[in-house]
Structure formats: structure tokens, C-alpha cells
Structure 1
Amino acid sequence: MRVKTEKKRSEIVSIAGELFLSQGYGSVSMATIAAAVGGSKGTLYGYFSSKEEIFAAFVVSAGQQRWQEFNALEKEAAGVEARLIALGRRYLRLLLSDEIMSVNRLVIAEAARFPELGRIFYDNGPKSVIGVIASTLQQSAAAGEIVIEDPVAEAWRFKSLCEARLVEQCLWGIRSGASEAEIIDNVRPACAIFLNSHRP
């Protein structure tokens, strides 16, 4: 029995991810992935039970470094405005990264035919982002800095405010990315609008 290794698993995820992005999710089969990896389907199934499971691993892998940066929000940031600006900046860096933009486009292109892609992407990306934002808002509310009734609902609103304009333009290929200055210019008014609605 062949011993499974993390190196081999990562290789499978990386190669499968390249295939998903270049050929589309629907065109890639387990046999296609096995051939590209250079092994048998038996070996592939030893690591993953389905193509959906490989795709989920690819989504996590694609955003891993950016996610760590996003989730490492400085706890010492003074005041709710500073914390929200830091949070918004880190979120846009995550979302506008080449890796996440590529996965986003893939999911949008294929989700109508393969609805499971949307659920996989949501569970491994946006759901976690919303959790971090909601937790930050809840902590600020507990400290009396803002007034909110539903942290999760308000997290979605804050997320949308930060995304305005920049995300659509990058997603549609109108622009190739955003500078740190452009991200700040998007986040500051988003935070101002949000805080104006939730000050004590």
C-alpha cells in the first residue's frame, strides 16, 4: 500500500487547479487530473474521493496565504474606525488577488451548470470572511463603539460597501488590479458610511 504524503496531495491540488482554470470545471474529469499528475486514478482516489473535493481543496489552497494575512488583523488597532479600515484593506487585498479573482471568475462561469461549485466556494471563502467581519463588529458593539442588532447581516453590508466599484471592474477585466492607495480610497468612505449608520 502506497503511503500518502502532503507533497503529493499539494501536487494534485496544484495541477488540478491549473486544469480547472484553463479548461473549465466541467471539462476536467478525475481521469484528466490523474493523467496530468502522472499517476493512476486509484492513486488519485486515495487522496480525494471526488472532483468536488479536489476543487474545494484548490479553493482553500488558492487563498491560503491571502487568508492568513486577512485573518491576522491587528488586535491593538485603536478605535473602531482604525480596526474597520484595517479589516477592509485586508479584505480587498484578499479578494482582488489574482488567485481569488481567477477562482471567482471560474465559479461564476460554471455555477449555472454545476451548482455545487457555488456552495464549495461560499463555504471555503465568503462564509469565513463574513465570520471574521461579524466577530469584529460584535466586539466593537460589546465595547460600546457601535450599535448593531445583527452582526452577520451588518458584516454583509460592510463587505459590500468595501467592494463598491473596484471589485466589479477587476472581476470584469476592466482593470487588472488595484494599488494600495486605490484600496484605501475605497475603504475609507465605506467605513465612514457604515459608522455613520451605527454610531451610539
Structure 2
Amino acid sequence: MRKKSGERCQAILDAAKTMFEKVGFEQATMAEIAATVGYSKATLYNYFSSKEQLFLELTRRSADRHSEQLFSLLMPNDERLPIETLPDRVNEVLELLQPSNDLTATLQRFGEGVMSNFLSLKSLAARRMLIAAAANQPEAGRLFFENGPAKGMQYTAQFFEQAMNAGQLRRADPRVAAAHFRGLLESEVYESGLFNARRELKPKEVKATVERAVEVFIRAYAQPAADLTQD
């Protein structure tokens, strides 16, 4: 991809995303994308050498946004993480997941953020497209997973490790705890959303769903009573 006008490049990516979501990766063509954005095919090929390269760039940017959003929800106060590479708005939520804060309330806020950002019908529509494309473009699937969900799970596990060190949760593998919490958040809504079999959730439904997930998680990972009484 040539480094040209960022505005024109973004317009092409937006048109491609619209077309991929509408007809799928396999059915979309560079000609249709060009028509959607109002440019010639020659202009598209000046920016992207193929439909596959265009899709890979979309995937990379989507993964970066996924990781950035999860980071803003999860960010522990840890100087080892690349805070300086994130937008200014991230600094406003750095206190969102602190092990010193009330754990149940913290997980509730975090869970509602995850559900609103990543389990909405729009987000799941994009995931369907990625899953379908990954069958023939495994590099796209790997790129999105490693730079999006995998990083998000890393940040989540880091938070749970700090919560365990602070005595708020029993000692366990923090990566497994992160996977369990994610699974609980997804359990009631993921499949129905992925198959487009439900409507968009209202805020009160999101809140209630997260409350149930947090309750089960706390019951599973709470400190045993014997540990809490030790000096």
C-alpha cells in the first residue's frame, strides 16, 4: 500500500468495510468497492494491490481498535504497559480496573463496557465477516486474533493477577480466570448475536446480564473462608 492521502485511503477502507459486511469477502469486488467510494479502480490499486491486501489492512486496523478499547477498559496502573502509545482518552479510564477498588463494582463496570463494545450486533457482524474470510485468508484471522482478542486477554489476566496478589481473589491461573470471565460475559448473548438471532440489547439488559456473570465469577474465585481468617 502506497503512503498517500490518509483521507482518501480511509474513504477506501470505509467503502470496503461496507461492501464486505453487505455481501461478504468472497463476493465483494474491487470494482464494486471503487463504485461505492466514487473512485476509479486504478485509484484503488494505487493504494492496495489486491482485495486481499485491502482486507488485511482493515483487519489490522480493526484489531488495533479492539486492543485499544479493551486496554482502556482494563488498564491496570502498570508502567510496563505502553501507555504513551494510546490516545489521550485512555488516561481517563486508567483507574477503571484497580485491584484496590471494590472488585464487584469494578468487574460490573468493565463487563458492561465489554458487552457494549464487543458483543453488540455491529461488532458481531464484523466478527462474522472475519471468521468467514479467515477460512481462505488465515493470515487475516491470525492478525486479528493476535493483535486484538489475545492482547485483550493478556490485559485481563494481568488485572486478575493483581487482584489475586491483593487477596481479593483466590490464587489461580490468571489466564484461565480471564477466559472464564470472558466466557461468562458471552454465555447469554454471543451465539444469538453471532447468528443475528436477537435484537440489540438495551442498557438495562446489559446491566442485568453482567450482574449475573459477575456473581457467578465471584462465587467461583472468591477467597476460601479459611484463607480470609489467616493472619
Q: Structure 1 residue 61: deviation in Å?
A: 5.1
Which moved further from structure 2: 14-23 or 49-58? 49-58
| Aligned sequence identity (%) | 29
Asked whether the 8 Å contact 2:120–2:193 carries over to 1, the reply is no
1:185 and 2:185 are equivalent in the alignment: no
Secondary structure of the 2:7 match is helix
Structure 1: gaps spanning 5 or more residues: none
Q: Structure 1 residue 103: deviation in Å?
A: 0.9
Structure 2: gaps spanning 5 or more residues: 74-92, 224-231
Describe the shift of the 1:57–1:142 C-alpha distance in structure 2 as closer, same or farther (beyond 3 A): farther
Letter in 2 for 1:25: F
Counterpart residue number, 2:28: 28
- Residues in 1 aligned to 2:52 and 2:132: alpha-carbon distance in whole angstroms: 16
Return the match for 2:107 from 72, 79, 84: 84
Return the match for 1:118 from 134, 141, 145: 141
How does 1:90-129 map onto structure 2 within 5 Å? 90-129=113-152
- Residues in 2 aligned to 1:36 and 1:70: alpha-carbon distance in whole angstroms: 31
Which moved further from structure 2: 29-38 or 82-91? 29-38
Q: Structure 1 residue 114: deviation in Å?
A: 3.6
Q: How many residues align?
A: 198
Q: Structure 1 residue 17: deviation in Å?
A: 0.7
Secondary structure of the 1:26 match is coil
- Residues in 1 aligned to 2:110 and 2:102: alpha-carbon distance in whole angstroms: 12
Counterpart residue number, 1:132: 155
**What TM-score do the two structures reach when normalised by structure 1?**
0.80
Asked whether the 8 Å contact 2:67–2:151 carries over to 1, the reply is no
Q: Structure 1 residue 117: deviation in Å?
A: 3.8
Higher alpha-carbon Rg: 2
Counterpart residue number, 1:157: 180
- Residues in 2 aligned to 1:149 and 1:45: alpha-carbon distance in whole angstroms: 51
**What TM-score do the two structures reach when normalised by structure 2?**
0.71
- Residues in 2 aligned to 1:138 and 1:9: alpha-carbon distance in whole angstroms: 41
